Amino acid sequence: MLIKGERVRLRALEPADIEVVYRWENDPAIWRVSGTMAPLSRERIARFIEEQSYDIYATRGMRLVIEVEGIAVGTVDCFDFEPRDGRMGIGIMVYAEADRRKGYAHEAIELIKDYARTTLALHQIWASVADDNAPSKALFEGCGFVECGRRREWLWRAEGYADEVEYQCIL
Length of the chain (residues):
171
Average pLDDT per 10 consecutive residues for the chain, totaling 171 residues:
91 92 85 74 86 82 95 96 97 94 98 97 97 96 98 92 97 97
Strands (E) located in 1-42: 2-4, 8-12
Instruction: Tally the C-alpha atoms within 13 A of residue 48's C-alpha that lie toward its C-beta.
Output: 18
CA atoms of 78 and 64, how far apart (whole Å): 8
The Cβ of residue 55 has, within 10 Å, a number of other Cβ atoms equal to: 8
Please tell me the pTM assigned to this model: 0.91
* Three-state SS at 32: helix
CA atoms of 45 and 62, how far apart (whole Å): 14
